[in-house]
Structure 1
């Protein structure tokens, strides 16, 4: 009976039900896994020790990435059996490489060079064997199709940029998880509408895993951090979704995102990318130091310094990024250069707005006291 059911079942005939099942499975597996991870981490003293840069004051487990990884792998294994796609196996391979690299970094210390090599290898697996790459600049600065090897090199750069930009925003409770959740929701909708069921399944599974993680990440008693394990595999998936979306749009002239996909992808990833650009500028040109030297100049640090709590910081940033994406979807009628130019302007203004409001509020508060 089960054999007959499996032989006659086609996920593409019931995509919505299929995605709901993938979401529920990912959530349940992750939700049931995190308590075990917390118990083992506490028993074996696998905790993050607060230092001068830490935004927390107590020892906290940093192995949340294990639960996310386990949840995703189980879902993709089942999906692979049903959909039989090569891309899913390669994604699992890339995730596994980054999982073990991140786990070693969370438990001991891993050099930046080894992490970089691992990221390159994981990204190259997908780029070369699935030919999923950014084939051109969609007329940005009048540049269209790129030569094959230039396309591979640029796609590889985008992978490394997104993975590490995402890692840099993992600084306050819930921020990295909520940003990834928001981005994954948009990609799930885009992939579902385009009929890319395999991609939609991975993104909806990530949503389920992240929701289970956020419950523990926001907890005051049983808190757990994503760690390098989580930030690398989640960043890798966000990069994969971004490049897959751009690649699909650029190769389909009938797609409504044929020319707009780079701007939409930039809008979804605006916070991690603009924060990385900003922090590198400050370190290189203002502080005159290495761009890879850690400090407290990230946007989320500025929110905390301005008086925002962790939760307020997270939800303010997520809300702003949501506005940015909604605006981007309403600018599809413009040419791509105009979309990106305006995105930089209104995105920067929106992120400056909370600080302006706080400053004005504090000034008025002082006047009232006087």
Structure 2
């Protein structure tokens, strides 16, 4: 057992968990101004086009600050925690970091990015042996053979990384979703006494709080870019798979039977948006699934008249509500839980559009009524 686990189990070290959070927060806060200055000096900025939701050039290298903060925390804490778990994660992040930086500066082909993601994910899966071993009875499916388990876990990694990348199109959205998801996982890992994974969550939370400060800034704004979306997406995927794996291997765990449902609830928004956007692009528009457009859920919410921060707030509230529905239905059969989570998610993310439609209808009725009054007068 590692030193920090011993201290915390003795009831004396909970305050130590503030160290990785504060270290990531301070490191990122110190790094971002320098990154922004260099990006403007070297013209490493995003130039607005017809798809952009901003009107000024903005640096796209925010992922460097996020990576730097997380890597420092995991490297320092690795000496006191589970180095066999954390060091492969750092190695995978380094691979994704260099791919992301190259893509942000020179543009990288989707095939090369996908290959890098596969190598990074496989490295962590094979070295740590953190993988999805069973479907937990979902749709009647149980244990997975070893190689199928590896393949399916790899698919989950790639899905989550790219799903997260797809929602990075609005000020604060990707950062807020990553922050919220990591806070959920950090709380769950802490309750499970998984301190190494708790530190991963806290490091990401600290770096994303600093990123959001600058992402929302009007003077020193920065985007996370592909570097950030791949680094953060990978860490969200790692936390998701680790949460499922640990619970599935422990018959006494609180989420032994429904860990995949909890993960689905936590990541419902990026997964829903990915499924929806692929359907729209491939089936309806007959386009490449990764071709850029403005058909994302957050784009449609902007069209309702919501501001960037309002869209982010609505999505955060909806995501929290879906997780609550999953937690409240834990005592039900796993397939019924799946139905409840999907239903709750579809309702919560459709609600803004239904409300807007109702308001629109009421305005039409009111206009007709006023016109009648005018005619009578």
> Considering the TM-score relative to the shorter chain, is it more than 0.5?
yes
When residues 15 and 180 of structure 1 are mapped into structure 2, their CA distance, relative to the original with a 3 A threshold, is farther
Unaligned runs of 5+ in 1: 1-5
Distance in 1, Cα, partners of 2:113 & 2:51: 21
Q: How does 1:344-363 map onto structure 2 within 5 Å? A: 344-363=342-361
Choose which of 59, 62, 68 in structure 1 pairs with 2:60: 62
Distance in 2, Cα, partners of 1:111 & 1:330: 43
| 1:76–1:88 CA contact under 8 A, matched in 2 | yes
Distance in 2, Cα, partners of 1:153 & 1:125: 13
Q: How does 1:46-195 map onto structure 2 within 5 Å? A: 46-195=44-193
Q: How does 1:286-305 map onto structure 2 within 5 Å? A: 286-305=284-303
Deviations 1:218-245 (A, max 9, x none): 1111110010000000000000000000
Residue 204 (1) aligns with residue 227 (2) = no
When residues 186 and 66 of structure 1 are mapped into structure 2, their CA distance, relative to the original with a 3 A threshold, is same
Deviation at 1:367, TM superposition (A): 3.3
Deviation at 1:310, TM superposition (A): 0.8
Deviation at 1:43, TM superposition (A): 1.1
When residues 239 and 221 of structure 1 are mapped into structure 2, their CA distance, relative to the original with a 3 A threshold, is same
Distance in 2, Cα, partners of 1:158 & 1:18: 32
For residue 33 of structure 2, what is the aligned residue in structure 1? 35
Distance in 1, Cα, partners of 2:93 & 2:339: 34
Distance in 2, Cα, partners of 1:261 & 1:39: 43
Distance in 2, Cα, partners of 1:18 & 1:259: 31
For residue 373 of structure 2, what is the aligned residue in structure 1? none
SS in 2 for 1:215: helix
| 2:325–2:344 CA contact under 8 A, matched in 1 | no
Distance in 2, Cα, partners of 1:84 & 1:112: 33
SS in 2 for 1:340: helix
SS in 2 for 1:141: helix
Unaligned runs of 5+ in 2: 371-377
Distance in 1, Cα, partners of 2:366 & 2:261: 45
Choose which of 249, 255, 258 in structure 1 pairs with 2:256: 258
SS in 2 for 1:167: helix
TM-score, with length taken from structure 2: 0.94
| 1:47–1:59 CA contact under 8 A, matched in 2 | yes
Deviations 1:239-263 (A, max 9, x none): 0000000000000000110011000
Distance in 2, Cα, partners of 1:365 & 1:83: 59
| 2:326–2:340 CA contact under 8 A, matched in 1 | no
Choose which of 287, 306, 311 in structure 2 pairs with 1:313: 311
Distance in 2, Cα, partners of 1:287 & 1:121: 32
SS in 2 for 1:138: coil
Deviations 1:144-175 (A, max 9, x none): 11000000000000000000000000011100
For residue 219 of structure 1, what is the aligned residue in structure 2? 217
| 2:250–2:256 CA contact under 8 A, matched in 1 | yes
When residues 11 and 85 of structure 1 are mapped into structure 2, their CA distance, relative to the original with a 3 A threshold, is farther
When residues 15 and 165 of structure 1 are mapped into structure 2, their CA distance, relative to the original with a 3 A threshold, is farther
Deviation at 1:364, TM superposition (A): 2.0
| 1:12–1:197 CA contact under 8 A, matched in 2 | no
Deviation at 1:362, TM superposition (A): 2.5
The structure that has the greater radius of gyration is 2
Residue 271 (1) aligns with residue 286 (2) = no
| 2:82–2:196 CA contact under 8 A, matched in 1 | no
Distance in 2, Cα, partners of 1:17 & 1:198: 15
When residues 347 and 313 of structure 1 are mapped into structure 2, their CA distance, relative to the original with a 3 A threshold, is same
Choose which of 233, 236, 252 in structure 2 pairs with 1:235: 233
Q: CA RMSD in A?
A: 1.4
Distance in 1, Cα, partners of 2:13 & 2:265: 27
SS in 2 for 1:57: coil
Distance in 2, Cα, partners of 1:100 & 1:284: 30
When residues 361 and 209 of structure 1 are mapped into structure 2, their CA distance, relative to the original with a 3 A threshold, is same
Distance in 1, Cα, partners of 2:74 & 2:284: 45
